[in-house]
Chain A
Amino acid sequence: MSPSVRLQEMIRVIRGARTQGEERGVIQRECAAIRAQFRQADNGTRSHNLAKLLYVHMLGYPAHFGQMECVRLIASPRYNEKRVGYLGAMMLLDEKQDASLLITNSIKNDLSHSSQYVQSLALCTLGCMGSAEMCRDLAPEIDRLLRASNSYIKKKAALCAVHIVRKVPELGELFTPAARSLLSEKNHGVLHGAVVLITELCERNPDTLEQFRKVVPELVQIMKGLVMSGYSPEHNVAGISDPFLQVRILRLLRILGRNNDTASDAMNDLLAQVATNTDSSKTAGSAVLYETVLTVMDIKSESGLRVLAVNILGRFLLNNDRNIRYISMTSLQKIVQTDHNAVQRHRGTIVDCLKDQDASVKRRALELSLALVSAVNIRSLMKELLLFLSSCPPELRAHTTSGIFNAAERYAPSQRWHIDTILHVLTTAGGDVRDETVPNLIQLITTATELHCYTVHKLYRALITDISVQSLVQVACWCIGEYGDLLLRGECEETEPVQVAEDDVLDALEMVLQSHMSSPATRGFALTATMKLSTRITHNVDRIRSIVSIYGSCIDVELQQRAVEYNALFKKYDHMRAAVLERMPVIDKSSPGHTNGESAGGTMKEMEPTKLTQEVVLPQEPANKVCDLLDLLGGSAEPLQPSPALSTTPLGPVSSTAGGDLLDLLGGLDVTPVPPSVIVYEKNGVTLKLQTDRQTDTGMTVTLTATNSTDGDITSITLQAAVPKSVQLQMKAPSGDVIPAHGLGQVTQTVLLNNPNKVSLKMRVRVCYTSQGSVCQDTVQIDSFPSPAW
């Protein structure tokens, strides 16, 4: 019985196993037998046993005990044993295994074997799994084979050299001369190998690239020969003569022509010829055309050629074959930045591809459509994109929504359109939008002041229809809270008038509060909105009061805290409620706190501080407790849990806690015009300026700025302030306590004053600092403030 039948017999038995367990049993038995055979002396069946082991390995079973057998078989003088041995080496050994080094010597010997088939085994194995060490060892051998052997060996040696260059790039110089001479071979296999080798050498070494630019004419000749040649049965594929070689040559030409005018000129004609003469009815021709287009777009080609290339891509777009449409969109994506107008011409077809059944094609079409958005086509293109969004596969939704938002932001023709678009996206795919959409949208709404009425009506209507999309609900709650008065007023120029009663609005908000679909963040929005409405409605304030007090015992800590604070606002600080809940000024988009994608802990906390731009003055802390107050704000390590009624956000930078980002939302605010400033102290090079800013008719913000014109830094500067008894004062944290020399920096400190009795305002400021090693302390009396008289 011929041994190889036993291999097939084994395969049959394994395949006949009815269960996984049975199969495992058979394989275990066979492996045991194989192991035993391996230990025995040579009996002519070794190659078959290894072959059996390789089959078992392919099924997924461990076969590492065959590694040494591979090494032994490779060293055998018999061809069939060598063959299987090398196959085993390629399957079981890779450069990570120690045993792979053991075959280096065998490979070396086999490279000089008298039979070319043995040589080819060694070359193939080295080219597939040779480690860097083996490559270094054997590189000279390969170089020798590149020069003096028959074409069968030369082509294998060429690809082996490619592998060596990939593993050990420094050896590239060794192969350069041989690679050059291989280009004059006629054998296509060798030529192909040579082109691949040259490509690899040029990609890794710019000097070699320079050298090989000289062979462009030769390559052009070879290409011309291929394109113009008659039918060759050996190399013909669907009417194209050796498309594999053609594509490789085009790829090499691309590398040589990149950024080089001379080389690009030399290949211009050829590329035009290939582009026009290649028959693209079958894949082979399309492959060649595709490579040609890539080359044309990458080198310094003339504009006529570029137009030709883009037209080819346009033609591909209309092809019935999905693969070709996909390819064309991939290529268009690469050139959409540089040849924007050319690609725009094909926008219609690209947009049609959005409706293709195939997911890959859809994805490409989406990418390309987003890249083609411009101010001119935004309206029509957005319609298509929104249509696409309603039916697009789930894995593409997040990408689509963010693409739509970016496009809308850059090219929105009007604010109303922008808001409408965002709302449309939220209703269609609100679950897939990014976190920062909510604050972005809110910021956009506040800037569109004429549209407040329209927006709040639209959002209200969306809210009562569906409260499941969290982002939409959050925005709607915020708007209702903020612009509730506009909602209740009823008329609005942009939409049909609808009578909304106070009860309806409160019902809607309560529904959001109570629904289990609402996330904690959303409920926070709803609660705050309810509270805000207390100053905007007239009849149902009691209802609001009761809602707020109920949530004072809510399990959710955030809601509970808010409810308790709002309750306090109702009870103890009712006189301030109107001021606290006033309409907010327009949020500046570029302020640091305005999110750029980091929404730590939800958008909720960001929204809270914005309420506090009403420079609310708090119950006074005694002036000399400056430090305590600073501790309250600066000592807490976790993100600021803003208690709206009890703290205000500082206008200057705070010591950086995690809440620092949030509080800096107001850092960039520049709402009021620059108030007048006056110098109140000037001594030892330290200048103290005072700036006032009247916020309400009893409250005022005073900013003290200290600068230093001496040559040395001023350190440990502290400011303390005292005011008459009836005036309430709060000092915020200073921006720092070091003033750099030569006026290069300053320290600012903000003081909030509330003068309910409208007494004549005086302030005493004590300034302490260390300058040039000595401590100084001074007191300044400020009797008049640079502002309209109180």
Chain B
Amino acid sequence: MMRFLLLFSRQGKLRLQKWFTPVTEREKKKVIREMTLMVLARPPRSCNFLLWRDLKIVYKRYASLYFCCGLEDQDNELLTLEVLQRYVELLDKYFGKVCELDIIFNFEKAYFILDEFLVGGEILETSKTAVGTAMEEAETLQETIEEHMSKPTY
């Protein structure tokens, strides 16, 4: 299973963090710091895999964002690269040519999309279209309620 997924910018600012195991706040900060240091120090055309403690770290850079996740021993690193690619594609489909600012200003949407794609460190949905459909339907549900809330009460 995936232990964690982090997104951070080239300056080391965290944009998204998802932890799939219980971790204390202090430990989270430590891991984030170490990941940031390790990944940002890698030269441009390096291998995307690292070993850290007892985990395999897979990272990929998309424009100004680094996607970094920690895997257990049995997990397939090449497949994880595909997982990261799929997540970026889902974000792209939802936001329409996604960029870092979209993720900053709509971070809760990024989380909702992630939760439709990964649960408990495992892939939930392998279809490209199903995640998008689910998001749309949930939005409709949300809008309906907000519309309802803003209707005048006469």
B79 touching A243 by the CB < 8 A rule?
Answer: yes
Stretch at the interface among B16-24, B63-71, B90-98: B16-24
A189 touching B127 by the CB < 8 A rule?
Answer: yes
If A58-B14, A189-B125, A360-B47 touch, whether A51 touches B79 (CB-CB below 8 Å) is no
Does B154 have its Cβ within 8 Å of any Cβ on chain A? no
**Which among B74, B78, B120, B146 is the interface contact of A290 at CB below 8 angstroms?**
B78
For B105, list chain A residues within 8 Å (CB). 8, 11-12
Does B37 have its Cβ within 8 Å of any Cβ on chain A? no
A319 to chain B, nearest CB (A): 11
Stretch at the interface among A157-165, A467-475, A658-666: A157-165
Does A55 have its Cβ within 8 Å of any Cβ on chain B? yes
B79 touching A117 by the CB < 8 A rule?
Answer: no
If A189-B126, A291-B76, A360-B47 touch, whether A60 touches B23 (CB-CB below 8 Å) is no
**Which among B17, B111, B122 is the interface contact of A87 at CB below 8 angstroms?**
B111
Does A78 have its Cβ within 8 Å of any Cβ on chain B? yes
Does A706 have its Cβ within 8 Å of any Cβ on chain B? no
B22 touching A87 by the CB < 8 A rule?
Answer: no
Q: CA A162 – CA B81 in complex, angstroms?
A: 23
Q: B62-115: which have CB < 8 Å to A?
A: 74, 76-79, 81-83, 85-86, 104-105, 107-108, 111-112, 115
Does B31 have its Cβ within 8 Å of any Cβ on chain A? no
B122 touching A291 by the CB < 8 A rule?
Answer: no
B76 touching A58 by the CB < 8 A rule?
Answer: no
A633 to chain B, nearest CB (A): 48
A80 touching B146 by the CB < 8 A rule?
Answer: yes
A127 to chain B, nearest CB (A): 4
Does B30 have its Cβ within 8 Å of any Cβ on chain A? no
B63 to chain A, nearest CB (A): 18
Q: B12-63: which have CB < 8 Å to A?
A: 14-17, 19-20, 22-24, 29, 43, 45-51
B78 touching A283 by the CB < 8 A rule?
Answer: yes
Encoded as 1 (CB less than 8 Å from any A CB) or 0, chain B from 113 to 146 comes to: 0010001101111111110001001100110011
B126 touching A188 by the CB < 8 A rule?
Answer: yes
Q: CA A12 – CA B101 in complex, angstroms?
A: 11
A239 to chain B, nearest CB (A): 13
For A235, list chain B residues within 8 Å (CB). 126-128
**Which among A60, A196, A243, A326 is the interface contact of B29 at CB below 8 angstroms?**
A60
B108 touching A243 by the CB < 8 A rule?
Answer: no
For B85, list chain A residues within 8 Å (CB). 283
Does A358 have its Cβ within 8 Å of any Cβ on chain B? yes
Closest to A81 in B: B145
For A243, list chain B residues within 8 Å (CB). 79, 82
Q: CA A395 – CA B128 in complex, angstroms?
A: 42
Closest to A54 in B: B108
If A155-B125, A323-B49 touch, whether A80 touches B82 (CB-CB below 8 Å) is no
Q: A215-247: which have CB < 8 Å to B?
A: 233-235, 237, 242-245, 247
For A54, list chain B residues within 8 Å (CB). 107-108
B76 touching A287 by the CB < 8 A rule?
Answer: yes
For A127, list chain B residues within 8 Å (CB). 119-120
Q: CA A159 – CA B123 in complex, angstroms?
A: 9
B119 touching A79 by the CB < 8 A rule?
Answer: no
For B29, list chain A residues within 8 Å (CB). 60
B107 touching A193 by the CB < 8 A rule?
Answer: no
B79 touching A95 by the CB < 8 A rule?
Answer: no
Q: CA A289 – CA B49 in complex, angstroms?
A: 18
Q: CA A622 – CA B141 in complex, angstroms?
A: 104
B141 touching A94 by the CB < 8 A rule?
Answer: no
Closest to B108 in A: A51
A323 touching B78 by the CB < 8 A rule?
Answer: yes
Does A564 have its Cβ within 8 Å of any Cβ on chain B? no
Does A324 have its Cβ within 8 Å of any Cβ on chain B? yes
Q: CA A287 – CA B58 in complex, angstroms?
A: 14
Does A583 have its Cβ within 8 Å of any Cβ on chain B? no
Does A516 have its Cβ within 8 Å of any Cβ on chain B? no
Does A359 have its Cβ within 8 Å of any Cβ on chain B? yes
A628 to chain B, nearest CB (A): 56
A87 touching B112 by the CB < 8 A rule?
Answer: yes
If A95-B22, A323-B48, A358-B47 touch, whether A242 touches B79 (CB-CB below 8 Å) is no
B91 to chain A, nearest CB (A): 16
If A11-B105, A60-B29, A128-B119 touch, whether A96 touches B76 (CB-CB below 8 Å) is no
Q: A130-173: which have CB < 8 Å to B?
A: 131, 152, 155-156, 159-160, 162-163, 166
Does A286 have its Cβ within 8 Å of any Cβ on chain B? yes
Closest to B74 in A: A251
A160 touching B120 by the CB < 8 A rule?
Answer: yes
For B119, list chain A residues within 8 Å (CB). 123-124, 127-128, 156, 159-160, 163
Closest to A193 in B: B124
For A193, list chain B residues within 8 Å (CB). 122, 124
If A58-B17, A251-B74, A283-B82 touch, whether A115 touches B125 (CB-CB below 8 Å) is no
Encoded as 1 (CB less than 8 Å from any B CB) or 0, chain A from 112 to 130 comes to: 0001010010011001110
Does A300 have its Cβ within 8 Å of any Cβ on chain B? no
Closest to A117 in B: B138
For A327, list chain B residues within 8 Å (CB). 49, 77-78
If A60-B29, A189-B125, A323-B77 touch, whether A117 touches B137 (CB-CB below 8 Å) is yes
For B20, list chain A residues within 8 Å (CB). 128
**Which among B16, B19, B124 is the interface contact of A189 at CB below 8 angstroms?**
B124
If A60-B14, A327-B77 touch, whether A162 touches B122 (CB-CB below 8 Å) is yes
For B24, list chain A residues within 8 Å (CB). 96
A192 touching B141 by the CB < 8 A rule?
Answer: no
Closest to B130 in A: A189
Q: CA A326 – CA B16 in complex, angstroms?
A: 28
For B23, list chain A residues within 8 Å (CB). 94
Q: CA A163 – CA B79 in complex, angstroms?
A: 21
A363 to chain B, nearest CB (A): 8
B64 to chain A, nearest CB (A): 14
B139 to chain A, nearest CB (A): 10
A58 touching B107 by the CB < 8 A rule?
Answer: yes
Q: CA A67 – CA B148 in complex, angstroms?
A: 28
Closest to A15 in B: B104
Q: CA A360 – CA B43 in complex, angstroms?
A: 12
A152 touching B134 by the CB < 8 A rule?
Answer: yes
Q: CA A361 – CA B125 in complex, angstroms?
A: 33
**Which among B86, B115, B126, B142 is the interface contact of A245 at CB below 8 angstroms?**
B126
Closest to A362 in B: B47
A361 touching B47 by the CB < 8 A rule?
Answer: yes
A360 touching B79 by the CB < 8 A rule?
Answer: no
Does A304 have its Cβ within 8 Å of any Cβ on chain B? no
Q: CA A188 – CA B129 in complex, angstroms?
A: 12
Does A83 have its Cβ within 8 Å of any Cβ on chain B? yes
Q: CA A163 – CA B2 in complex, angstroms?
A: 12
Closest to B128 in A: A234
**Which among A128, A160, A323 is the interface contact of B47 at CB below 8 angstroms?**
A323
B129 touching A78 by the CB < 8 A rule?
Answer: no
**Which among B15, B47, B79, B125 is the interface contact of A326 at CB below 8 angstroms?**
B47
If A60-B14, A60-B29, A291-B76 touch, whether A159 touches B48 (CB-CB below 8 Å) is no
**Which among A80, A192, A322, A324 is the interface contact of B142 at CB below 8 angstroms?**
A80
19 residue pairs from A and B, CB less than 8 Å apart: A12-B105, A15-B104, A55-B107, A60-B14, A117-B141, A120-B134, A124-B115, A127-B120, A155-B124, A159-B119, A160-B120, A162-B120, A188-B126, A189-B126, A234-B127, A244-B126, A359-B46, A360-B50, A360-B51
B residues with a Cβ closer than 8 A to A are: 14-17, 19-20, 22-24, 29, 43, 45-51, 74, 76-79, 81-83, 85-86, 104-105, 107-108, 111-112, 115, 119-120, 122-130, 134, 137-138, 141-142, 145-146, 149
7 further A-B contacts with Cβ under 8 Å, apart from A78-B149, A156-B124, are A58-B15, A155-B125, A189-B125, A189-B130, A193-B124, A290-B76, A291-B76
The 8 tightest CB contacts between A and B, nearest first, are A287-B78, A287-B79, A127-B120, A163-B120, A159-B119, A360-B47, A94-B22, A322-B47
